[in-house]
Structure 1
Amino acid sequence: MQKPRFHAVIADDHAIVRAGLRAALETPGTVEPDGIEVTAEARDGLQAIAALRQHRPSLLILDVQMPHAGGLEVLVEARRWSPDTKVVILTGVTAAGKIGELVASGVDGLFSKSEDHDELIARLPTILRGQRHIAASFRQLLEDTPATPLLSDRERQTLNLIVSGRSNKEIAETLGISAKTVDRHRTNLMKKLDVHSVAQLIAYALREGLIDPSPEL
């Protein structure tokens, strides 16, 4: 048998999910005639970033909600360290805000964990060859939901810290910026999201999935 043409990294904090994906990828004929070699598995975001830097895989299958670094952070690092890697997100997230952000981030594939993997398996060959695919359920979700304003990286960091209960001074110290700048970010967030109090801001962020699920920043 020929050596697989493609190789992959699987990043998910559930071992059973990683095992199922590995079996599907490596079995000849399931995705590719010769299979796809899984060169590494990662159970958290930091491991995923390290595996990307080491292996520069053809494919990264990535969960959004992992410890230590969220899926979007891993995606940014993937584009930095391994720009040719096709990034496919397999997620249980259903918040329209988060799904819209993932689509806007330029992922190569986006699929739901709540559905069977037939669509994922069927679409991986074309994704590996340069096409993009967003699962039909997510496309419908976005069509039925008003667009959520996109946040800058700094606004997102500020929002995470606001939700965690930090004061302007604490946020400033964490991010290495002035309290005045933090206040400006807070004001911009409230304007973008059309809310009028910190309580409304937090409620909106939680409802729309706009915060990093991991406790670390």
Structure 2
Amino acid sequence: MIRVLLADDEAMIRGGVRAILASAGDIEVVAEAADGREAVALTQRHRPDVCLLDIRMPKLDGLRAAAELRRTCPDSAVMMLTTFSEDEYIATALGSGAAGFVLKSGDPRELLAGVRAVHEGGAYLSPAVARHVITHMAAGQLGRRATAQARTAGLTPREREVLGLVGAGLSNADIAARLHVVEGTVKTYVSQILARLEMKNRVQAAILAYEAGLVPSS
């Protein structure tokens, strides 16, 4: 079972999200929080696999809670749940260490796919957010491409290949199957790549892979 902490200050929203997660059969909500501080405390106590955080919460908002959880509970993946898709929320959420970003107005299947993806070590952006990010990046793609290529030039060929597959949204298990290696080897590669590129998470690495042109076409 995938153990999830759910944090949202609206009880009705929590109830709806809880029902969607419960319908999956392989996901269990182990704790619920009504504000960011409570979310951090409960995560530290229960150590869930995934923390599903609303962005706008009292006492400590989801963005600051995400940053605190990445520092104190790095084994708990963080995914943001929100009604907002503005640039500043997306950029700040990803910079805070979130591995996923799902809109409350999206298809419930996106929520389930996102929880499973980040639990498996992958990254997930709901389609609406992904389109927004790609369109935003495309505006300055040429300058970013040169910068990204220079940044990834020091990686080994295998590391560049793994980075490209991370950019394609594949989980560690999927990458291992594609490269015919064990999953532990992929985890080691990903850790090395994040360390060498000084990145916090796979979402940041995936964006860099896209900018550098490393994401395979199929």
Quickly say closer, same or farther: Cα 1:101–1:6, change in 2 above 3 A: same
CA offset at residue 8 of structure 1?
1.4
CA offset at residue 134 of structure 1?
1.1
Q: Distance in 1 between matches of 2:83 and 2:47?
A: 26
Quickly say closer, same or farther: Cα 1:93–1:31, change in 2 above 3 A: farther
Unpaired runs of 5+ residues, structure 1, are 148-217
The one-letter amino acid paired with 2:102 is F
1:109-143 per-residue CA deviation (whole Å, 9 max, x = no partner) reads 11111222221213322321111111221122223
1:66-106 per-residue CA deviation (whole Å, 9 max, x = no partner) reads 00111121112211221110111111112212212222333
TM-score (norm: length of structure 2) = 0.58
Residue 36 of structure 2 corresponds to which residue in structure 1?
45
CA offset at residue 24 of structure 1?
2.4
Aligned-residue identity in percent = 34
Q: Distance in 1 between matches of 2:4 and 2:54?
A: 14
SS of 1:66's partner is coil
The one-letter amino acid paired with 1:7 is R
Match of 1:127 among 118, 130, 138: 118
* Worse-matched range after superposition: 61-70 or 122-131: 122-131
Residue 138 of structure 1 corresponds to which residue in structure 2?
129
Q: Does 1:111 align with 2:102?
A: yes
Quickly say closer, same or farther: Cα 1:100–1:125, change in 2 above 3 A: same
Residue 48 of structure 2 corresponds to which residue in structure 1?
57
CA offset at residue 31 of structure 1?
5.3
Unpaired runs of 5+ residues, structure 2, are 141-218
RMSD across aligned positions (CA): 1.8
SS of 1:39's partner is strand
Match of 1:102 among 86, 93, 104: 93
Q: Which has the higher contact order (CA 8 A, sep 6+)?
A: 1
Q: Distance in 2 between matches of 1:97 and 1:126?
A: 24
Residue 26 of structure 1 corresponds to which residue in structure 2?
22
Q: Distance in 2 between matches of 1:24 and 1:60?
A: 15
SS of 1:52's partner is helix
Q: Are the counterparts in 2 of residues 31 and 121 from structure 1 also a CA contact under 8 Å?
A: no
Q: Distance in 2 between matches of 1:131 and 1:79?
A: 15
**Count of aligned positions:** 138
Q: Distance in 2 between matches of 1:54 and 1:108?
A: 21
The one-letter amino acid paired with 2:11 is A
Structure with greater Cα Rg: 1
